[in-house]
Structure 1
Amino acid sequence: MAYFVTPEELVTSNGVDVRELGTGEQWYEAQPD
């Protein structure tokens, strides 16, 4: 799965706000293509 997010709206295709996961950019940048 691919995640399309921006610094202003860190939300995955599942509607999860990565800021709530407490990992921010490192969370989605670590995902495989």
Structure 2
Amino acid sequence: MDTIPGNDFDRLLFFEAARKTAEVNYAKDPLDAD
């Protein structure tokens, strides 16, 4: 585990934001792999 408090939370927020971005992009164009 990481020794820096809050690091996991920051990572969680980052990946959640990335997931939402990918979800929006997929909704716009499901066949676009990028």
Give the alignment's TM-score, normalised by structure 2: 0.27
Relative contact order (alpha carbons < 8 A, sep ≥ 6): 1 or 2 greater?
1
Larger radius of gyration: 2
Greater helix fraction, Structure 1 or Structure 2 = 2
